[in-house]
Amino acid sequence: MKKFYTLFVAVLVAAVAFAQNAFAQNGKEMHQKAVPVPMQMQKVRAAKSQNRAQLPLKRMRRAEGEAATYVKVNTTPENWEGHYLFVYEDGAVALDGSPADVLDATGNTISVTIADGQIASTAATDAASFTIAAVDGGYSLQGAGGLYMGQISDANGLLSSTSTPYVNQLSIDGEGNVVVLSSGGAYLRYNASNGQARFRYYKSGTYTNQKAIQLYKLNGEWTEPEIEVLELVTLPDGLQTEDYAQVMLGYVSGESNWESKTVNQTVQVAIDGADVYIQGLSYWVPGAWVKGVLKDNQVQVPTTYMGEDDYGYENYLIPYTTDGNGGFAETPYMVLDFDAETRVISLNENYFFAESDDATASQGWYDYWESLTLTPGAVVQPEVVEVPEGLETVQYNLEAYDLTFEDGEDENAEQTPVYTPVTRVTRVGFDGTDVYVQGLCSYLPDAWLKGTLSDGKIVLPSGQYYGTYESYFGDFDFYFLGYGENGVEDVRLTVSEDGAVLTAENWMLTNPNAISENPYEILTGAVFYRVSETAGTPAAPSVVKFEDSDEEYDFGAVTLNIPITDVNGNPLVVDKLFYKLYIDEAGAVSEYRFSASLYENLTEDLVEIPYTMNDEWDFYVNGTEVYVYLNSSTLSYDRIGVQSIYRGGEEEHKTDIAWYTIERTENAIHAINGEADTKAPVYNLAGQRVTKPIRGLYIQNGRKVVMVK
């Protein structure tokens, strides 16, 4: 099976701030699901982003006629001040000083050519250089992008700042290597390990495990150059264009990190003999064109000037090749595969492309794109599946594993797959050979898929549209994809002889597009079990977490675990399952009443709540987890309890009340019953550990939890 390379990035930072403000204005804490970043299956590496609101200083170029070079420093000088390159000679790379946001990044290097102890001064080398200046106690090291670097503790890492000139001590050892000692006692070295390729400070006890580095000094003066601008690509007069549907997957530089993006739009393509003109490859200048050359069913697209964007910045499209091991290199052109029969154009898997304000940049990207598909014809607005009127459906419980990935403790360790068991309630309806399935998308549980039944198998076509999930983080389209040994494929469900068990032969993905895998969620080992209605006592529920009201907001919240099986493990018909809440105030126990005057989606007061109640405002259901708002003050509660009620098989069975004791302290509220470790690590749905979770859905203690504060 195709190997998965998973590397995750931060999500929607600006949208989060907006969402928090929006809910504060509404007087309600956020409890909508936080949409995770898609897991990129063929990610190249953690490339450097360039925030457009905080662009680095203009890259400095050598004046015409000068033949300046960087010369190796072999002895300790009396005066260190000047412009330098920090170099790892054996790898022919230099530390890139051009980024304006962070220097401590895997692969933050440029390639250099060393001849006779010298490196030519070029636009690329000047942009990567550092200025060494005297400060109290030593020297500061400032990159051309404006960042100072240093380390204030004896630990692995590299700090960068636009305002703090970190102190370093410098010397040249007997082998001609530069010794850079930080104020914290760590040493600047080069990590040549696979997947690292980075300059960084390493602690004094183990720094010799990393590679020694060398220093090269510029033997000339800086000048501010004129930036060369390439000509825009324009269409020849009279050349006819054709609508193409574009799907492009990649990452865009956000406020503080990369944000995953899917571009789905109609663009124009024109083919004039061997010349191919394509519109829409620039995210920031979508009307710009590139020109490629068609040869042997491949279109070669070179570095291209895309023009000035709405922010006033120049944009260059820069192609790169990958090496299959997480590395990459700039290349004169990228390759797009052309299918002569279908006329589909797609980015070759060995290439990706980025945008920057400098045609020679290997860092400081605005964005980069790893998947591109262009299909003849305009974009067709997807439609959700509608079930036939009067369709009879049957409950099937889905048992599967939610596949996520966890970082290793060591910085060089690969991510570890984590399989979290999940149970979901789904519904299946048969209309002749047509089969309808509901409940596979956790974000849109009411959405349907349509398949066909033939020869004991149900085939669910890949690429079906679940719909749009609207949240305060933005609107997100969700698609259903199958994935197997051949990549994206239809999902096949093997049907047992009695029809009671449906077993998936391949993986099921929740995806942001209908073509290329880039999943929000992966379900593996999925089996559907038909549920028959019988009498039984439901398994005991529990209160997992309680959130108290406070002086600002006069409402609380409670997270419940409502099992959908009986005490013997048999599945329950969820339409017959209910729960009640109980309140203990100074020894007086009462049923909690959900008043229609306080719950905007209720038309009458309720004491019993159907398990299936899910309005995603006051009630939220995800598998056995139920999240409920308590729309009145909870400050007088001493305990809160929950009881399950099941009326299947024409019998009523109730559980005992499961109580949760509340202990209030000056700064916190916590359970004393030990149901959950609230200090356990928290992970987002993409498997990344989160140190400061915002409001939304996360994984803690091996299960999904909703964070409200």
* Level-2 CATH architecture, domain 242-376: Beta Barrel (2.40)
Q: Say which residue the tokens 């895309």 belong to.
A: 306
Q: Which of 371-385, 548-562, 595-609 has the lowest mean pLDDT?
A: 548-562
Residue 690 is predicted with a pLDDT of: 53
- Asked whether residue 357 carries a pLDDT value surpassing 60, the answer given is yes
Given its phi and psi angles, is residue 315 left (phi above 0), alpha (psi -120 to 50 degrees) or beta?
A: beta
Fold of 66-218: Trefoil (Acidic Fibroblast Growth Factor, subunit A) (2.80.10)
Q: Global pTM? A: 0.58
Fold of 542-676: Immunoglobulin-like (2.60.40)
481-492 pLDDT tens trace:
999 988 899 999
589-614 pLDDT tens trace:
999 999 999 998 999 999 999 999 98
- Asked whether residue 303 carries a pLDDT value surpassing 60, the answer given is yes
- Asked whether residue 176 carries a pLDDT value surpassing 90, the answer given is yes
User: Taking the domains of the chain in order of start, what are their residue ranges?
Assistant: 66-218, 242-376, 383-530, 542-676
Residue (of 218, 225, 177, 222) closest to 82 by Cα position: 218
Rg (CA), the chain: 30
Instruction: State the greatest distance between any 2 C-alpha atoms of the chain, in Å, as a whole number.
Output: 94
384-442 pLDDT tens trace:
999 999 999 999 999 999 998 776 665 555 678 889 998 899 999 999 999 999 999 98
Tokens of 191: 């990590």
Q: State the chain's mean pLDDT as an integer.
A: 82
Residue (of 124, 599, 633, 162) closest to 330 by Cα position: 124
Query: Of residues 685 and 641, which shows the higher confidence score?
Result: 641
Torsion sign, CA atoms 283, 284, 289, 293? negative
Residue (of 216, 40, 17, 190) closest to 114 by Cα position: 216
pLDDT confidence band for 474 (50 / 70 / 90): low
Helix (H) or strand (E) holding 14: helix 13-26
200-231 pLDDT tens trace:
999 999 999 999 999 999 986 544 434 445 68
> Which range scores top for mean pLDDT: 357-366, 448-457, 548-557?
448-457
Torsion sign, CA atoms 361, 367, 372, 375? negative
Residue (of 343, 351, 353) closest to 374 by Cα position: 343
Is residue 334 within 8 A of residue 348, CB to CB? The reply is: yes
Name every residue whose Cβ is closer than 8 Å to that of residue 107 and which is 6 or more positions away in sequence. Answer: 45, 46, 47, 197, 198, 327, 328
519-540 pLDDT tens trace:
889 999 999 999 999 999 999 9
Q: How would you class 653 by CB atoms within 10 Å of its CB: exposed for 0-12, middle for 13-18, buried for 19 or more?
A: middle
Q: What is the mean pLDDT of residues 321-328?
A: 71
Q: Which of 54-58, 97-101, 331-335, 498-502 has the lowest mean pLDDT?
A: 54-58
Neighbours of 377 (CB within 10 A): 11
| CA 407 – CA 418 distance, rounded (Å) | 10
Is residue 645 within 8 A of residue 577, CB to CB? The reply is: yes
Q: What is the mean pLDDT of residues 605-628?
A: 89
Task: Give the N- to C-terminal CA distance of the chain in Å, as an integer.
Answer: 41
pLDDT confidence band for 708 (50 / 70 / 90): very low
| CA 356 – CA 52 distance, rounded (Å) | 10
Q: Give the amino acid at 541.
A: P
Residue 417 is predicted with a pLDDT of: 87
pLDDT confidence band for 42 (50 / 70 / 90): very low
Q: Which of 160-174, 209-223, 567-581, 684-698 has the lowest mean pLDDT?
A: 684-698
Q: How would you class 699 by CB atoms within 10 Å of its CB: exposed for 0-12, middle for 13-18, buried for 19 or more?
A: buried
Tokens of 563: 């099992």
| CA 529 – CA 504 distance, rounded (Å) | 12
Q: What is the mean pLDDT of residues 49-56?
A: 46
| CA 612 – CA 230 distance, rounded (Å) | 60
Q: Give the amino acid at 82.
A: G
Q: Span 383-530: which CATH code?
A: 2.40.160
